[in-house]
Structure 1
Amino acid sequence: MKHVHAEQGLLAPAAPDETSQVLMPVATSLQDRRPRTLKHGDTFAVFDHNGDAVSWPGSPEGLFHRDTRYLSHLRLTIEGLPPMLLSSTLRDDNATLTCDLTNPDISDGKGQIVLEHDLLHLRRSRFLWQAACYERLALRNFDERPHRITLKLAFSADFADLFEVRGARRAKRGEMLPPQVEGDRVTLAYRGLDGRRRTTTLRFDPAPQQLGADHATFVLDLKPGQARTVVMEIACDKPDGGPLRRSFGTALRDSRTALRRSSGLAAAVDSSNEIFNEAVRRSVSDLYMLVTDTPEGAYPYAGIPWFSTVFGRDALITGLQTLWLDPAITRGVLLHLAVNQASDYDPLADAESGKILHEVRYGEMAELKEVPFRRYYGSIDSTPLFVMLAGAYLERTGDVVTLRRLWPHIEAALFWIEKDGDRDGDGFIEYGRRNPEGLVNQGWKDSHDSVFHADGALAKGPIALAEVQAYTYGAWRAAAAIARAIGRPETQAAGFEQRAEALRSGFDAAFFDEALGTYVLALDGEKRACRVRSSNAGHVLLTGLALPERAEAVVRTLTDSASFSGWGVRTLASTEARYNPMSYHNGSVWPHDNALIAAGFARYGFKREAARIFEGLFAASTYIDLRRLPELFCGFARQHTRGPTFYPVACSPQAWAATAPLFMLQSCLGLGFDAEQVHIRFDGPVLPAFLEEVTIRNLVLDGGSADVMLRRSRSQVVVDVLQRRGPVRIVTTA
């Protein structure tokens, strides 16, 4: 049986000596069904194009709430037959799924057609709001004759834990409780081994003619041209919300208002390329669909279907990629992770004092510790990324009030970096799991086979990854800037800078390989270099850790045909021992990885190479449903007139993939901020080949804002200030 390891620990393969990892069989390709997804808060739903949820082993379809599937089956039939699909669309803002359907030929059972196809139109409009799924079924008769039509909705709820849905097997489950059927509603219930009672309540208006524990049947009389509607609510652990049609209207209004309010804070992007405009609109819509309100502020959940919860690394990178667009998201990420920072040592959770969260789960299996992810800290990079992002937030906003609030957490994170993060005291940050059921590899490439030597032999830990040292360098530099901004002693800030410089010189000596022409992937537990060409080296440029004289070689290596597929930089060069373009981490293309690499290129002055990466990913998006970049796709070489090859279980939408184009746009434009001077900067802007001009509106800084247009003029890019409000100034350098 084939296993695939998903980045956040849900799909974990196992080598023969690693059977304690969480095993998840992969038997279903998400690409087969190209599902439609909705999300609000801690609830998400996955449907097929007809609006149905048809469950089978490994299927992610259904309605999920807090890591449990509350509805596993939903199927609509008309006169006992499935309707035919006309179209299936998500609104541009992801607020509503609309499925337009029609009737097939309907016979009388004796071979005589009594209703020809395409005479009835059925529209299913569906959205999520506050732990409930709402749907309106509108049926209209376009025939010249009246018809009595029977619609049937079949449904069921398995209350499976998300890990079960993905394939985990449990020795024992809880108890399915007797269903309650009354009038216009059905309540399905389950009592888990954790003692919790979970309920799914389906309500209908009008009341069905027949209602059972697994179906609702409506008999509708339709005159020529007449339309009838049925409204349904599927509520997860939710009390009765009053009259259903009124609740539907109120929920629809409130959901759209909330989306407009949140996304209205962001800068707006428009360009000369309408396809790119569609892609950007989808990126922004996916971002705000994934954003969830927490007590500390907005927090982007990682992705649907497997990662719709709090992840540290994902949100930190998403915050970095969207900081120019909407700093409020970054603020929410930092504050929420600060509140959940480890304050003690817990080997079962891979927790150490000062460490930043990897993942949170709320399902039955996590509560019972059948999986170790209830509150899990097994990532090596979340902690330095936390400090690094705090520094970027300060530079972007000048918000010293929030930084003072964060400072104790920043100091705790720095203490972890020095103490537990550096296990052998050599100045590098290493990882090794404390819990034998936790993640073997704890960088962003956390497949069991993602860190290896040139001959393909797996590296043994503790392992020091190249990119983690870069994040740590960025963390020390950020800590120095924050310390000065909030008035800490100069000796403390200077000490942070000294640590950064010591890391820089030590890193170059240990990680740069002249023969490879790039940085090695990692050092193993014996400090032997993993001499492998990988995308990790591009992250070294992101924070400035790379010595200037190394940058050109790294760029050249990452843009040659072994590394660059034409769609993007592969996670692993095709020359390496474990290269497989269909693997999760050993040859695939990840949008967020490419966005970070492009930002590193731009930092060292290689903006045209950054624009080349941008063009590849944009070209890939033109072949993808909804212009939505998935979590990853396969690393096969780009061929003329053919799109990219998709990865079977890639999440879509995925926050850091959705926001990758936004970050690449920032990198190519050289867009930066000086909060102290209230300057918005464009340093040596470059436009990729598919853009002639870009307009950005509502770039906010320190109470002011600006609208700007960047347009190509021969070999240069000209910046025009369209409007300026408040004290903000636009500064452009060649």
Structure 2
Amino acid sequence: MSGMQPLLHDLAIALRAPTVVLSGRDGQLRPAGTQGVLHGDLRVLGEAVVTVNGREAEPIGFAEPGADRGEFTGLLRGIGDPGPDPTVWLRRHRTAGPRGMYEELELASSASAPVRCAVELTLSADFAPIEEIKGGDSREALPPVLDGSGVLWESGGLTSRVVAEGAEFSLQDGKVVARWTVDAPTRLHWSVSVTDEAPLFVPGAPVLATPEVRADDRRFAGFLNRSLADLTGLLLAEREHPDDVFAGAGAPWYLTLFGRDSLWAARLLLPVSVDLAAGTLRTLARSQGRKHDPATGEAPGKILHERRRADFKLRGMSLPAWYYGTVDATALWVCLLHDAWRWGLAEERVRELLPNLRAALTWITELADTDGDGFAEYLDETGRGLANQGWKDSRDAVRFADGRRAEPPVALSEVQGYQHEAVVRAADLLTALGEPADGLTDWAADLRTRFREKFWVNGFPALALDGAKTPVDALTSNIGHLLGTGLVDEAESATIAGHLLGPDLAAGYGLRTMSSTMDGYAPLSYHCGSVWPHDTAIVVNALSRAGHGPAAARLGAQLLTAAEAFGYRMPELYAGFSADDSPIPLPYGASCRPQAWSAASAVVLLQTFLGLQVDVPAGTITLSPPPSPIGAFEVRDLPVGNGTLSLALAADGSIRDLVLPQGFRQVP
């Protein structure tokens, strides 16, 4: 439907960043919705429809055996031997690559004699940018150019070329048709390749470890393995810095650098990759703000929100290609630097980033509070940017308990937690490196006092303060992000944990973004009632860090239940219906899949079920596993420092076997 964001929950997706292929589950790429081959925020092929003897195959099954692969099978009834049993069928074997897509068409046959078939592949391309696709708009196909070896389309310095081995190409009604006349059984091959004169990003080298995991609950290994494969498919790097790998946020809407998303993904994935953290930190450090610019949201020391190949314009919103409209990425960058150091980022690498750390701390302690009330807040000065600039960034995301929207400037509760943790962790890091950390602990102490005085309402922290400094009193998942940041004390943490585990928030498939008791709650709202796996994973990790391991494990088990329903390819978000409302979690139809920080939730579950914390500089490993929701399990070759950790756990959480990396000791 024109003007509405197209749904994609039921599409088949093959991905190897910066390319993503979206088709129907029959394998066809039709000129509608989100379908097509997308590369670097442009749809470089919008149609690839196969027919045999003038008819489409009747689909009977599809699979996504890997992040970059799709397998489709359809029947060709009426071709081959007479009788009720099909004797000819079509299989499409698809592989996405960083510069396009390759596909094999397998005409399979059990017929008694060779079957003559006319196979046609109809093609078109429109080079629509991602924001037009997301907005539900359509545009006319570009004129194709037949050049003897295939067909190509060109626009804006980018070329898309289709080659089909042995096919004859022709133009029909403005589209291209590649035609083979063959006898089944046979195999045919075609591909689309992209040449981009100035790509922002190139494929990232694999940097994620793949520890061996076995558990009584076999779902867990399936979830972890699929997530790591999807994450590898999302890896990107700047062309000028190919070794600095980061995770693109998600396919198809956000397959690019996003400060908050890429930082959280790297942080949640530290148990399987310090290199990803290092690449993410360095990439974002190179674009760290240097000046005040209301048009882009840039400020000295501020970390970038997103970077695209061109300006992003959608429904009255106009974001520049380099956009800094985020209130939390700067603190998250600091937290990642500290945590990466704890997990083994080499000291010389950390020291290289100290100027960026100092600049980020200046923004946090001096510039983030724009109105002098002692809290970090945001306000879109242009009227064309993001109205909300925390992770819940939709226009209606910040609501009071009665459903009213908060007026800006808005100070989010979790952002105060991130800021507090960033400053405290930075002080620890600087002190350990023999660098001055004057005033940081005092600043954090003052923030704790102010927060306790202004944010607590009705027995829990408010979602935010609005422009009038009124507490936005809705009960939301945001409060879970405060755990482990040091901003709340032990008793307050216990109170927050009690709210989080209630059935109004933790309803069976993860943590709702808003309590079902609030007037603004809706299970299909983007940020006011849906479930975001990364949000649940952050809270699971925070509960564990705050000493609530059993509660963390119980909440994490809800994510595993949801992951199974989505074939272990965890989407960006899904509907907030409870397990009593629906026997399976229901999709949010326009959700990205895969999404980096959602996939990273599998690693969070691994860390939580192990009760694992690592301090490489101190040479210590902490293991405090809770009773296991996945039964007995074992982990082999989990990277720690220059070695690996292996262990086996009983279902009650007791350690049955433990092999520490050389030079490390276990601490309580």
TM-score grouping bracket, smaller chain normalisation: over 0.9
Match of 2:294 among 330, 347, 352: 347
Q: Who is 2:70 aligned against?
A: 97
Does 2:142 align with 1:200? no
1:276 counterpart SS class: helix
Counterpart-to-counterpart distance in 2, 1:716 and 1:664:
14
Q: Who is 2:27 aligned against?
A: 51
Q: Who is 2:283 aligned against?
A: 336
Please identify, of 287-296 and 383-392, the stretch whose mean Cα deviation from structure 2 is larger: 287-296
Does 2:451 align with 1:507? yes
8 A Cα contact 1:63 1:69, kept in partner: yes
Q: Cα distance 1:333–1:391, how it changes in 2: closer, same or farther (>3 A)?
A: same
Matches within 5 A, 1:448-463: 448-463=395-410
Q: Cα distance 1:352–1:283, how it changes in 2: closer, same or farther (>3 A)?
A: same
8 A Cα contact 1:89 1:99, kept in partner: yes
> For residues 1-49 of structure 1, what are the alpha-carbon distances to aligned partners after superposition, in whole Å with 9 as ceiling and x for unaligned?
9xxxxxxxxxxxxxxxxxxxxxx94354323xx2122222322211222
Matches within 5 A, 1:426-505: 426-489=373-436, 493-505=437-449
Q: Who is 1:622 aligned against?
A: 564
Matches within 5 A, 1:504-583: 504-513=448-457, 516-583=458-525
Counterpart-to-counterpart distance in 2, 1:440 and 1:106:
57
Q: Who is 2:621 aligned against?
A: 680
Q: Who is 1:156 aligned against?
A: 124
Q: Who is 1:216 aligned against?
A: 177
Counterpart-to-counterpart distance in 2, 1:99 and 1:176:
26
Give the % identical residues.
31
2:439 counterpart SS class: helix
Please identify, of 78-87 and 315-324, the stretch whose mean Cα deviation from structure 2 is larger: 78-87
Which amino acid counterpart does residue 634 of structure 2 have in structure 1? Answer: T
Counterpart-to-counterpart distance in 2, 1:465 and 1:641:
32
Q: Who is 2:648 aligned against?
A: 709
Q: Cα distance 1:68–1:27, how it changes in 2: closer, same or farther (>3 A)?
A: closer
Q: Who is 2:604 aligned against?
A: 663
> For residues 235-282 of structure 1, what are the alpha-carbon distances to aligned partners after superposition, in whole Å with 9 as ceiling and x for unaligned?
12269xxxxxxxxxxxxxxx9xx99x7266343433222122111111
Q: Who is 1:249 aligned against?
A: none
Which amino acid counterpart does residue 259 of structure 2 have in structure 1? Answer: G
Counterpart-to-counterpart distance in 2, 1:101 and 1:555:
50
Match of 1:271 among 203, 215, 228: 215
Counterpart-to-counterpart distance in 2, 1:327 and 1:310:
18
Does 2:359 align with 1:422? no
Structure 2 unaligned regions, length at least 5? none
Does 2:108 align with 1:143? no
Does 2:92 align with 1:124? yes
Q: Cα distance 1:637–1:379, how it changes in 2: closer, same or farther (>3 A)?
A: same
Give the paired residue count. Answer: 659
8 A Cα contact 2:515 2:521, kept in partner: yes
Matches within 5 A, 1:624-663: 624=566, 626-639=567-580, 642-663=583-604
Q: Cα distance 1:25–1:400, how it changes in 2: closer, same or farther (>3 A)?
A: farther
Q: Cα distance 1:39–1:418, how it changes in 2: closer, same or farther (>3 A)?
A: same
Q: Cα distance 1:304–1:687, how it changes in 2: closer, same or farther (>3 A)?
A: farther
Which amino acid counterpart does residue 54 of structure 1 have in structure 2? Answer: R
Match of 2:186 among 228, 234, 254: 228
8 A Cα contact 2:144 2:175, kept in partner: no
Counterpart-to-counterpart distance in 1, 2:99 and 2:12:
18
8 A Cα contact 2:563 2:570, kept in partner: yes
Counterpart-to-counterpart distance in 1, 2:653 and 2:93:
48
8 A Cα contact 1:183 1:207, kept in partner: no
Does 2:70 align with 1:70? no
Counterpart-to-counterpart distance in 2, 1:543 and 1:582:
30
8 A Cα contact 2:265 2:597, kept in partner: yes
Which amino acid counterpart does residue 581 of structure 1 have in structure 2? Answer: P
Q: Who is 2:535 aligned against?
A: 593
1:338 counterpart SS class: helix
1:542 counterpart SS class: coil
Counterpart-to-counterpart distance in 2, 1:719 and 1:455:
51
8 A Cα contact 1:615 1:688, kept in partner: no
Which amino acid counterpart does residue 728 of structure 1 have in structure 2? Answer: F
Match of 1:237 among 169, 175, 195: 195
Which amino acid counterpart does residue 679 of structure 1 have in structure 2? Answer: T
Q: Who is 2:55 aligned against?
A: 81
8 A Cα contact 1:508 1:547, kept in partner: no
Displacement of 1:197: 3.7
Match of 1:382 among 314, 329, 353: 329
Displacement of 1:640: 8.5
1:150 counterpart SS class: strand
1:482 counterpart SS class: helix
Displacement of 1:72: 0.9
> For residues 121-165 of structure 1, what are the alpha-carbon distances to aligned partners after superposition, in whole Å with 9 as ceiling and x for unaligned?
322222122312111222233211222101111111011111111
Q: Cα distance 1:142–1:126, how it changes in 2: closer, same or farther (>3 A)?
A: same
Displacement of 1:76: 0.6
Displacement of 1:414: 1.1
Matches within 5 A, 1:295-374: 295=241, 297-363=244-310, 371-374=318-321
8 A Cα contact 1:710 1:718, kept in partner: yes
Counterpart-to-counterpart distance in 2, 1:270 and 1:293:
32
Match of 1:284 among 217, 222, 228: 228
Displacement of 1:229: 2.1
Match of 2:662 among 722, 726, 729: 726
> For residues 150-195 of structure 1, what are the alpha-carbon distances to aligned partners after superposition, in whole Å with 9 as ceiling and x for unaligned?
111111101111111112669xx8x9764221333011233xxxxx
Displacement of 1:54: 1.2
Q: Cα distance 1:337–1:238, how it changes in 2: closer, same or farther (>3 A)?
A: closer
Which amino acid counterpart does residue 265 of structure 1 have in structure 2? Answer: A
> For residues 620-640 of structure 1, what are the alpha-carbon distances to aligned partners after superposition, in whole Å with 9 as ceiling and x for unaligned?
22222x222211111122128
Match of 2:634 among 689, 695, 699: 695
Counterpart-to-counterpart distance in 1, 2:654 and 2:4:
47
Q: Cα distance 1:701–1:197, how it changes in 2: closer, same or farther (>3 A)?
A: closer
Counterpart-to-counterpart distance in 1, 2:196 and 2:515:
50
Counterpart-to-counterpart distance in 2, 1:35 and 1:583:
21
Which amino acid counterpart does residue 699 of structure 1 have in structure 2? Answer: L
Q: Cα distance 1:218–1:396, how it changes in 2: closer, same or farther (>3 A)?
A: same
8 A Cα contact 2:5 2:136, kept in partner: no
